[in-house]
Structure 1
Amino acid sequence: MAFLSPIILPSSSSVRVSVIILFILLSHNVAAITLSKNGTAPAVFAFGDSILDTGNNDYIVSMSKSNFPPYGRDFMGGMPTGRFSNGRVPSDFVAEELGVKKVLPAYLDPNLQLQDLLTGVCFASGGSGYDPLTPKLQSVLSLSDQLDLFKEYKSKINTAIGNERTATLLSESLFILSIGTNDLAINYFSTPLRSAHYDIPAYTDLLLEVASNFLQELYALGARVIGVISMPPIGCVPAQRTLDGGIERACYETENQAAVLFNSKLSPLIDSLNKRLPEAQLIYIDIYNPLLSLIQDPAQYAFEVVDKGCCGTGTVESGPLCNKDTPVICNDASKYIFWDSFHPTETAYRILTSAILKQIDKFF
């Protein structure tokens, strides 16, 4: 994905022209990384799993993909993009609401231009988790892999605009992390690989240790404002209701309680890191209660269906199981909280993003 190439110029006049062009480009780049007058971020960077993934899994060998219909049905142009929803996802909405851009591109997209990089990209990978074992189960990018890609990104930006401007860009941008759902739903509660060796308190401690190390590494690479999204009420997503909710498909409260326990440890961890890291502005973002509010009082938000996804039966379909041959797709996804059996609709994501932005508002 090189974007700067050496050019051999044959004459002094050509050299003068190239210098002028280079000056214009550099001036443009400086403007691109300056905070706007209303104090918004110059760029947004996303890490984590399918909640924020805008298409990175399209470019890796994995079964965890959504780059086919009906995914993307309500996206601009009606095309699937690798987003695990019928339209845009929170990483897009955050970037839009901060005035950065309408969609946040996937870093692995080979068509990215320099300006795309300067205003932020997404490193998240659907199916990933804090636990290094979780992404291995679905052959997706681990948090370590995502950090490596960010290091590659930083090197490219350093080459383009210099170390000082890169440091300014990163320190004034918003970094957002959403991950952990797959650790509980796909790993701990669906396989014996971890549950045979860890009880829930011990496993959440394992996840917190990885979270702490990741946030400190991201800080060391130049990030300063980092929003960390909590785990949602995982036991209430349609797939978990189907697997563990009994004949009535109720919320699986054991899984919800595990999410609550993790969140109760994540918040003080973030407080501790803010005290230890001198320039850190880490933000704990509660998504558990906002999503639970949608599920418990759907009429308040104009939703009609809370326990099934729009795709197929809505009870098990997700990823490859939600495809163009799925017999029934609902006509109006805006009436559903969930698009498939695991991921919210664009409408639900927009509401949840509003809750996210309220919690980071004082920083931008």
Structure 2
Amino acid sequence: MQTMQVISIAAVLLLAHCAYVHGREARQPWKAKAMLVFGDSTVDPGNNNRLLTDFKANFLPYGKDFLDGRPTGRFCDGRLATDFIAETLGIAKSIPAFLDPNLTPQQRKLGVSFASASSGYDELTAIQAGVLTITKQIEYLRHYKVQLRKLEGPVQSQKTIEDALVVISAGTNDFVQNYYFYDNRSKEFTEPKYEDYLISLMSGYIKEINKLGAKRFVLVGVPPMGCLPVVKTLTAAEGCFVQYNDVAKSFNSKIVKQLDVLKKQLGLKAAYLDIYKIFEDVTSNPTKYGFAEISKGCCGSGTIEFGQSCKGQKTCDDPTKFMYWDAIHPTQQMYKILADEGIKEVAEDVLV
């Protein structure tokens, strides 16, 4: 009988512990209660819809797997990694575009994305595409602060900005679009010097955002650029184009070093999100993540189409089996993997 009592007590304690842990997870004990997002098409939920640019995705088949099955301007079949991160943090199921005319007061309180597809750290990258530079995105942050102050008052609005998770995702367009394909900056910089130039710009943007009150940053690295389907097509590479991947690794290593400097200088809670590593693991072990196709996109031929050239194209039967949605951008399924793995990497450094 005494043994049974001991077992019963142990079982009760175990159940209590499980309930406590589950309760903590259910309460989402993260400090960040809002998200502010800057960058390019990887995190643009539709700002480009309001711009005079060809770099848009507010038409089918984009958005076919979104929450209500409609195109929003996201370069994806559904949600982006920032949407999934926001859901994990208990903020919202998706992060809206700052320029969305239907943005509600409640949505503003939970955060917005200022990102613009085809933008980059280099202002020339955005200017030649007719989209928002990151300087302009930061200017919109100033407008957002004024709006938030009207909604929440000076004290609470400042706290919202200080506790918000700031995500910055850019760089790929600077290299693939600006440096290599359009051959603009390659006349001025060697690859290492251009990397340094972008890092100096990135550092300046973080300082400006920090001056406006933000203290929690996640810097997203660039993916294996040489493995993008469109790059493989245009370079006629067998497998991935090694030169671009080497540049990506070099640039990412410089992000890490500069972020460490900024953390000490500014007292930031900041982390680097190594998406290169995640892409690399998925590419090496596709079945582990449920993918059957990792070399081409789901839209059209999957080798060259993105944006306008994807408009009205037929798509694969099951996007969840594809790593890429179009010839550049990941599927919703891949973005969810990036978000899930990313949260594990950055949580302790930034979110608590």
Please indicate, yes or no, whether the TM-score normalized by the shorter chain is above 0.5.
yes
Does residue 224 of structure 1 match 2:222?
no
| Number of equivalent positions | 324
Which residue does 1:68 correspond to in 2? 59
Q: SS in structure 2 opposite 1:85? A: coil
How far apart, CA to CA, are the structure 1 residues paired with 2:177 and 2:211?
Answer: 31
Does residue 211 of structure 1 match 2:197?
no
Gaps (5+ residues) in structure 1? Answer: 1-35
Residues 158, 235 of structure 1: alpha-carbon distance in 2 compared, 3 angstrom cutoff: same
Q: SS in structure 1 opposite 2:254? A: helix
How far apart, CA to CA, are the structure 1 residues paired with 2:30 and 2:87?
Answer: 14
Does residue 276 of structure 1 match 2:249?
no
CA RMSD of aligned residues (A): 1.1
Q: 1:166 aligns with which of 145, 157, 162?
A: 157
Task: Give the number of the structure whose residues are more often helix, by fraction.
Answer: 2
Letter aligned with residue 157 of structure 1: L
Residue pair 1:53, 1:106 contacting (<8 A) in 2 also: yes
Q: SS in structure 2 opposite 1:176? A: strand
Gaps (5+ residues) in structure 2? Answer: 1-26
Residue pair 2:271, 2:346 contacting (<8 A) in 1 also: yes
Does residue 109 of structure 1 match 2:97?
no
Residues 112, 187 of structure 1: alpha-carbon distance in 2 compared, 3 angstrom cutoff: same
1:167-206, aligned counterparts within 5 Å? 167-206=158-197
Which residue does 1:311 correspond to in 2? 299
Letter aligned with residue 294 of structure 2: V
How far apart, CA to CA, are the structure 2 residues paired with 1:267 and 1:299?
Answer: 30
1:3-14, aligned counterparts within 5 Å? none
Of stretches 110-119 and 334-343 in structure 1, the one that deviates more from structure 2 is 110-119
Residue pair 1:245, 1:251 contacting (<8 A) in 2 also: no
Letter aligned with residue 329 of structure 1: T
Does residue 333 of structure 1 match 2:319?
yes
Does residue 289 of structure 1 match 2:281?
no
Does residue 134 of structure 1 match 2:125?
yes
Q: TM-score, normalised by structure 2?
A: 0.90
How far apart, CA to CA, are the structure 2 residues paired with 1:63 and 1:69?
Answer: 15
Which residue does 1:144 correspond to in 2? 135
Q: 2:255 aligns with which of 260, 266, 270?
A: 266
Which residue does 2:347 correspond to in 1? 361
Letter aligned with residue 253 of structure 2: S
Query: C-alpha offsets along residues 236-269 of structure 1, whole Å, 9 cap, x if unaligned?
Result: 01001111143x3x21111111111111111010
Which residue does 2:333 correspond to in 1? 347
Q: SS in structure 2 opposite 1:77? A: coil
Letter aligned with residue 298 of structure 1: P
How far apart, CA to CA, are the structure 2 residues paired with 1:291 and 1:53?
Answer: 20
Q: SS in structure 2 opposite 1:76? A: coil
State the shift of 1:160 in Å: 2.5
Which residue does 1:93 correspond to in 2? 84
Residue pair 2:28, 2:89 contacting (<8 A) in 1 also: no
Residue pair 2:30, 2:89 contacting (<8 A) in 1 also: no
How far apart, CA to CA, are the structure 2 residues paired with 1:102 and 1:141?
Answer: 25
State the shift of 1:297 in Å: 1.6
Aligned residues with identical type, % of pairs: 39
Q: TM-score, normalised by structure 1?
A: 0.87
